[in-house]
């Protein structure tokens, strides 16, 4: 097999902590244990998500009641909300930082960082990551990035406010808006640290998956979660450096006086000396990362939901190979679709046609994945655990948001929909809500693995139903604003006669958003309460097949005491006919399941096939084997 047998050398050292004593600092802060790092990513991600959600509530309040004063806003925000009303510049800062935090800090680091770190070693059967030290650095770079990003709320001119895409010249020319001063500098510094963190993580994930799989774990026996994390990491490694390149050029333009992105600019009557650059260059560099980025966000969520849906339907995932190939297809195609963000930016229209073709092709693997999820549910025996509820929610959002992608990916339709609320609705469903639901499904599903405790299921139910309904109430009506030609990032709808009819919708949407935000309290309470007071988790609470559930509940450095288990079969043998229980863990050899083996299980191994035939002759079948 392709596995390199590195694992067993340190077994006993790790297992009994013999070689060094763990202190509080080495265990909880500068930890090099992948499980602890995963938890660090998760809790930091949750905190950032709460902050970003809070920001969104602030600007939703402004949108719903543009002409009302809220004294408490002034209490919290001071001069940015003088008289209790958010100022236009600060409104844009809120929108910008909400987007940045959600996309990068929550759905990239919080999602990939958490679950790749937690699950890769546990599901492929490794003691830890390939480079635990790099892994630790990855978290601390991420942490610094978060701190620096948040610090921009404490400076005079406020945070970056040119939108999360920070298009120049708006983001470069400090005179264009206050947020383009120090706030933007902090944004760029934070982003460089963040990309460094992502790269360290990504390189680690890829090398761990390629080199450190346990005996028997060939690539086609890996759970779909691992496939998703693997391809996500590759996407990140190939695309994030391009963002850094773009960011460095932007730093030069801002601080050294170069003109990579600037040309022919007059602010008022002040003529800037820059000549020869092009703002479109930034858009190309940004979206070369930016589009793969949305798949970096959604693919881990899809991987998690594949696993959760299969486990809780008590059925093998339908079309395992097709699922992997569609992930690979998405990975490859996602590099050649970035131009669909730029149909109307003045990019050569010829390119618009090309990018439209590649963009609509990427809908095919996405459709295959959706149908496979449906086929997995079909004739299943579905247990509605909180994780399963969120995974079903993800499929629903993925469909609803994915279909509107067919409008936006079509260059001709995009002319009128570009930069309107239709776009807002589209991506909040397909990558926002879907990815958040994937993340929540993961948290509910692997919480027992992370903390050795169970979360309260009923609070989970409440959390799911409130969030699921509220998310649709928030985002579904926004499509119609977009179809009526209401642009996004508008501070107030008061200046246009035709937008006034949407004010009531805005009020409704804001209340739904507040409901969604408050529903998260159920989650936060459940999460933190269960860490300390939850019921102790059994070894394998969901009766799942994957390797992580064979490791002891009590965390040990090195994951398994003694030898790492060997893998004999794929991870999706649920409800296999002929077997007495409805799951067969990957560690169970075929010799122990003679009554349920199927011809294709042996992958052409003639000896094994003969043994099976002999056994079947000796034990004539009494019931239908399906």
Minimum CB distance to another protein, residue 459 (Å): 8
CB of 203 to another protein, least distance (A): 33
Is the peptide bond between 421 and the residue preceding it cis, with omega within 30 degrees of 0?
A: no
- Distance (Å, rounded) from C-alpha 558 to C-alpha 564? 9
Which residues neighbour 344 within 8 Å (Cβ) at sequence distance 6 or greater?
414, 415, 418
CA distance 7 to 546: 19
Q: How far is the CB of 602 from another protein (least distance, A)?
A: 15
Cβ proximity to another protein, 280 vs 556, nearer residue = 280
Choose between 139 and 527: whose C-beta lies nearer to another protein.
527
User: Please, what is the minimum distance in Å from the beta carbon of residue 356 to another protein?
Assistant: 6
Exposure b/e, 178-201, CB count within 10 A at least 16 = b: bbbbbbbbbbbbbbbbbbbbbbbb
Cβ closer to another protein: 212 or 324? 324
- Per DSSP, 619 falls in state S
Residue nearer to another protein on the CB measure, 132 or 162: 162
Q: Please, what's the b/e burial string for 288-314 (b: 16 or more CB within 10 A of its CB; e: otherwise)?
A: bbbbbbbbbbbbbbbbbbbbbbbbbbe
C-beta of 36 vs 377, nearer to another protein: 377
Residue owning tokens 């691992």 = 226
Best CA proximity match to 333, nearest among 366, 298, 370, 284: 366
To the nearest whole angstrom, how small is the minimum distance from the Cβ of residue 265 to another protein? 5
Angle at 114 between CA 113 and CA 119, to 5 degrees: 105
How far does CA 143 lie from the centroid of its chain? 17
Q: C-beta of 267: minimal distance to another protein in Å?
A: 5
The nearest distance, CB 574 to another protein, in angstroms, is: 7
Compute the distance between CA of residue 100 and CA of residue 549 in angstroms, rounded to an integer. Answer: 35
551 close to 122: Cβ distance less than 8 angstroms: yes
- Closest to another protein by CB, 155 or 415: 415
Q: Using CA atoms, how far apart are residues 331 and 229, in angstroms rounded to an integer?
A: 11
Give the Cα separation of 366 and 370 in Å (integer).
Answer: 6
User: Considering the complex, what minimum distance in angstroms separates the CB of residue 121 from another protein?
Assistant: 27
Closest approach of Cβ 300 to another protein, in Å? 21
Task: Report the residue number, 4 or 518, with the smaller CB distance to another protein.
Answer: 518
DSSP H or E run through 60:
helix 34-64
Nearest distance from residue 313's CB to another protein, in Å?
A: 6
Residue (177 or 212) nearer to another protein, CB: 177
Q: Rounded to whole angstroms, how far apart are CA atoms 109 and 52? A: 14
Q: How many other C-beta atoms lie within 10 A of the C-beta of residue 18?
A: 10
Please spell the DSSP secondary structure of 361-380, one letter per residue.
HTHHHHHHHHHHHHHHHTT-
Q: What is the DSSP letter of 536?
A: B
User: What's the token pair of residue 24?
Assistant: 């509080």
Of 389 and 439, nearer to another protein (C-beta) is: 389
Report CA 374 to chain centroid distance, whole Å.
22
The smaller minimum CB distance to another protein, of residues 109 and 177, is found at 177
Instruction: Tell me the backbone φ, ψ of residue 306, rounded to 5 degrees.
Output: -55, -50
Minimum CB–partner distance for residue 139 and another protein (Å):
32
Please name which of 450, 540, 551 lies closest in space to residue 126, comparing C-alpha atoms.
551
CB of 399 to another protein, least distance (A): 5
DSSP secondary structure of 152-213? GGGSTT-S--STTTT-TTTTT-TTT-GGGTHHHHHHHHHHHHHHHHHHHHHHHHHHHHHH-P
Smallest gap from Cβ 367 to another protein, in A, equals 4
Alpha-carbon distances, residue 503 vs 426, 472, 541, 571 (angstroms): 20, 18, 48, 51
Of 449 and 479, the one with the shorter C-beta distance to another protein is: 479
**CB-nearer residue toward another protein: 206 or 388:** 388
Instruction: Supply the minimum distance, in Å, between the C-beta of residue 204 and another protein.
Output: 32
Q: Closer to another protein at the Cβ: 170 or 553?
A: 170
> Measuring CA to CA, which residue among 315, 115, 346, 132 is closest to residue 233?
115
- Closer to another protein by CB, 92 or 107: give it: 92
């Amino acid at each position: 097999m392709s596995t390199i047998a590195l694992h067993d050398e340190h077994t006993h050292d790790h297992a009994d902590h013999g070689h060094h004593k763990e202190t509080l600092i080495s265990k909880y802060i500068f930890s090099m244990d992948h499980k602890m790092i995963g938890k660090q990513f998760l809790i930091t991600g949750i905190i950032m998500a709460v902050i970003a959600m809070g920001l969104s509530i602030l600007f939703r309040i402004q949108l719903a009641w543009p002409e009302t004063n809220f004294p408490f806003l002034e209490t919290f925000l001071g001069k940015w909300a003088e008289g209790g009303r958010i100022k236009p510049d600060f409104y844009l800062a809120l929108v910008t930082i909400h987007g940045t935090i959600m996309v990068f800090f929550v759905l990239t680091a919080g999602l990939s960082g958490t679950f790749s770190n937690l699950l890769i070693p546990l599901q492929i059967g490794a003691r830890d990551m390939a480079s635990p030290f790099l892994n630790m650095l990855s978290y601390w770079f991420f942490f610094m990035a978060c701190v620096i990003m948040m610090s921009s709320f404490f400076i005079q001119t406020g945070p970056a406010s040119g939108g999360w895409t920070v298009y120049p010249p708006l983001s470069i020319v400090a005179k264009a808006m206050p947020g383009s001063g120090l706030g933007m500098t902090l944004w760029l510094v934070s982003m460089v640290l963040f990309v460094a963190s992502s790269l360290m993580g990504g390189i680690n994930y890829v090398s761990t998956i390629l080199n450190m799989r346990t005996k028997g774990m060939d690539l086609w026996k890996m759970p779909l979660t691992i496939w998703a994390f693997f391809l996500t990491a590759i996407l990140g490694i190939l695309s994030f450096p391009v963002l850094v390149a773009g960011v460095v050029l932007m730093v030069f333009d801002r601080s050294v006086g170069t003109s990579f992105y600037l040309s022919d600019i007059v602010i008022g009557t002040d003529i800037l000396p820059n000549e020869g650059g092009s703002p479109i260059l930034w858009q190309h560099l940004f979206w070369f990362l930016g589009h793969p980025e949305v798949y970096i966000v959604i693919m881990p969520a899809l991987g998690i939901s594949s696993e959760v849906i299969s486990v809780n339907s008590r059925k093998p995932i339908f079309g395992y190979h097709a699922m992997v190939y569609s992930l690979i297809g998405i990975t490859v195609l996602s590099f050649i679709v970035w131009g669909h963000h730029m149909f109307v930016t003045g990019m050569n229209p010829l390119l618009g046609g090309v990018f439209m073709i590649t963009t609509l092709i990427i809908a095919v693997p996405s459709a295959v994945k959706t149908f496979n999820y449906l086929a997995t549910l079909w004739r299943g025996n579905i247990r509605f655990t909180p994780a399963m509820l969120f995974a079903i929610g993800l499929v629903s959002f993925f469909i609803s948001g994915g279909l509107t992608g067919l409008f936006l990916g079509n260059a001709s339709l995009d002319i009128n929909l570009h930069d309107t609320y239709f776009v807002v609705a589209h991506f909040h469903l397909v990558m926002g809500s879907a990815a958040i639901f994937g993340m929540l499904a993961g948290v509910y599903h692997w919480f027992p693995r992370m903390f050795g405790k169970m979360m309260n299921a009923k609070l989970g139910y409440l959390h799911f139903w409130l969030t699921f309904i509220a998310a649709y109430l928030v985002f579904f009506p926004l499509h119609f604003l977009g179809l009526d030609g209401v642009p996004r990032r508008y501070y107030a709808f008061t200046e246009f006669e035709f937008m006034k009819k949407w004010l009531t919708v805005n009020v409704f949407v804001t209340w739904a958003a507040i409901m969604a935000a408050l529903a998260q309290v159920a989650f936060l309470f459940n999460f933190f309460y269960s860490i300390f007071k939850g019921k102790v988790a059994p070894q394998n609470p969901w009766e799942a097949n994957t390797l992580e559930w064979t490791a002891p509940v009590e965390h040990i450095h090195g994951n398994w005491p003694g030898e790492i288990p060997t893998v004999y079969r794929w991870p999706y043998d649920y409800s296999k006919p002929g077997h007495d229980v409805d799951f067969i863990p990957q560690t169970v050899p075929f010799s122990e399941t003679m009554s349920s083996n199927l011809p294709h299980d042996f992958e052409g191994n003639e000896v094994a096939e003969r043994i099976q035939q002999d056994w079947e002759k000796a034990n004539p079948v009494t019931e239908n084997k399906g």
